[in-house]
Amino acid sequence: MIARIYKPARSAMQSGYAKTKDWVLEYVPQKDKPIDPLMGWTGSTETTSQVRLSFDTKEEAVAYADRHGIAYQILEPKKRAHVVRPGGYGDNFAPGRRISWTH
């Protein structure tokens, strides 16, 4: 069974960076989840899908996997193009604004 070690990305519904600082170790599902024909719910007999471990650093996650004999793959985080827009909404109404604000 293979585990993946990665740093989670921020969701599109988040404006902050909560829960994106830690590294996560979780198991890759071995098979698809079956769909119940009556209710349409998905189920699984894999209990490893419920395991999600958090670590402060990638090295700690790798050391844990090595210590417990877990095969793993590391997914490096992609660097985000950090675009910071100067000012904010309140700057539209600042008295020292260079350009007058009109509708």
Per-residue pLDDT reduced to its tens digit, 73-89: 999 988 877 766 667 77
pLDDT value, residue 30? 83
Q: What is the pLDDT of residues 39-71, one digit of tens each?
A: 988 888 888 888 899 999 999 999 999 999 999
- Residue by residue, DSSP assigns 14-58 as -SS-TT-SSEEEEEPPSSPPPBPTTT--B--S-GGGG-EEEESSH
97 vs 75, more confident: 75
Q: Is the pTM of this model over 0.85?
A: no
Task: Please name the fold of domain 2-93.
Answer: Double Stranded RNA Binding Domain (3.30.160)
The structural domains of the chain, with segments of one domain joined by +, span 2-93
Burial of 61 (0-12, 13-18, 19+ CB in 10 A): buried
